[in-house]
Copies of this chain bind each other. A is one copy, B any other.
Amino acid sequence: MSTAASLGDMSADEFRAHGHAIVEWIARYMEHPERYPVLARVAPGDIRRALPAEAPDSPEPFDGILADFDRILMPGMTHWNHPGFMAYFATSASGPGVLAEFLSAALNQQAMLWRTSPSATELEAVALGWLRRLLGLPDSFAGVIYDTASMSSLHALAAAREAAVPHVRRLGLAGRADVPRLRVYCSDQAHSSIDKGVILAGFGHEALRRIPCDAEFRLPPDALGAAIAEDRSAGVLPVAVVATVGTTSTTSVDPVAEVAGICEAEGLWLHVDAAYAGAAAMLPEHAHILAGAERADSLVVNPHKWLFTPFDLSAFFCRRMDVLRQAFSLVPEYLRTPEAAANLMDTGVQLGRRFRALKLWMLLRYFGADGLRGRIRHHVGLGRQLARWVDAHPDFERLAPAPFSVVCFRARPRGREWSEAGLARLNEAILARVNASGEVFISHTALHGRFALRAAIGNLQTTERHVARAWELVQEALDAELA
């Protein structure tokens, strides 16, 4: 081996050989995802114990590394790209998305400044513009890509703080007699990322007022208004409201228009968390879910949830991007550039930014808007089918409406008196049995104190056969528990 080669990268020919082998590996994976149990069957520590405690001193052949990947790591994967994955929110790393990530990794673009990647910077605006129009949001919204909805919502809370607390960027929150306790509002169904956001931004967890939801798991506007009035009279400063379009447990839709009216009257920042369900607004029959969102200050939709984009890509839309820039724009001399162009580092806390727009752009074109709508409609249809099966079975009951592709239900066998604790134990046992099957992975939640099984449909390869099998496994698990 020449000195140059031994100091350089893997040779292009070696990259070719391994690259082609990996293409074949992934193609086989796409063809037969059901070869693998969807939920990993290892025990905590198994993977770690199979690996040495120290890095090797000498180079190892890539073939051997790939063989270890197959032998040691594959058994420890939970297969998010498996058609039986129905836990949390089901996702898809679609073919065009995966190929785009491959190109993005090789190009290693870093879109902190326009000049460090004009294409990544401008394609981000273009792809988000496409998505914005598909969602029916007006062009008063600008967009920026973050990694996760956690970060999108955190930036919304930071912008809300910037708008509400004078000089907060310069003076912060501590030791100020002129800044009272602050408050952020959401329903008790809002995602835990809102809690983490208020903690990190220095509001404190108690500053998040989680309003009890109504019978259909939505934020009740009257209770929101009353809470704001109560806080104001107690000297607390209301800052922001987070409305959710597609809550995590039941995919409920908060009444965004009514909440927007309250926010406008009260001068509060309205952030809409549509991380999961926002994608459904592309369909005419679901467009109403974002009614009122055009009056929000910010909104997040995650293409890595229900738009078939490999993880990670969170799309953040904001009507007041100037406030976000006011909070975070900070240009040290070494990042000053001559071009009159927006630099995306100015809209966030993260300086480094991957070329995430490429995968969104490629898959929007590959599937086309109609193709995406058809796939989402298909998933909604599968969810409704499952809901009908549950509703028709005398030993099961549905625990929430199923407006999209997520169904919450539980077993409640006839002919016996059940305590809530007894039903929780029964359904937790059913959950464990179903997930041990390797064919299906579902999750759970708590709804008004009840333990609920939760099936979420959203993978591109999921068909009616998989949903029917999930339902069959649930029934078999109940039979086994009662036997």
Contacts and interface: CB of A to CB of B under 8 A. Distances in A.
A234 to B, nearest CB: 11
A482 interface: no
A276 to B, nearest CB: 12
Number of copies: 2
A277 interface: no
Contacts of A9: 30, 92, 94-95, 308, 460-461
A91 B117 CA distance: 14
A108 B109 CA distance: 21
Contacts of A358: 69, 73
A114 B42 CA distance: 11
Nearest to A327: B199
B133 A116 contact: no
Interface string A181-220: 1100000000111011111111111110000000000000
A29 B378 contact: no
6 contacts: A12-B27, A16-B24, A65-B362, A88-B334, A102-B102, A172-B207
A445 interface: yes
A438 to B, nearest CB: 14
Contact of A10 (B16, B94, B169, B444): B94
Interface residues of A, number: 176
Contacts of A175: 179-182, 236
A76 B118 contact: yes
A144 interface: no
B26 A62 contact: no
A421 interface: no
Nearest to A198: B172
B174 A205 contact: no
Interface string A313-334: 0000000000000011011111
A39 interface: yes
Interface string A71-104: 0011111111100000110011111111101110
Contacts of A98: 15, 102, 105-106
A419 interface: no
A367 interface: yes
Contacts of A53: 126, 129-130, 133
A51 to B, nearest CB: 5
Interface string A102-128: 110111111000111111101101100
A349 B106 contact: no
Contacts of A201: 200-202
A346 to B, nearest CB: 10
Interface string A214-257: 00000000000000000000001000000000001100000000
Nearest to A373: B57
Given A199-B169, A334-B445, A148 B350 contact: yes
A29 B107 CA distance: 9
B109 A77 contact: yes
B96 A80 contact: no
A366 interface: yes
A80 B364 CA distance: 26
A168 interface: yes
A176 B173 CA distance: 9
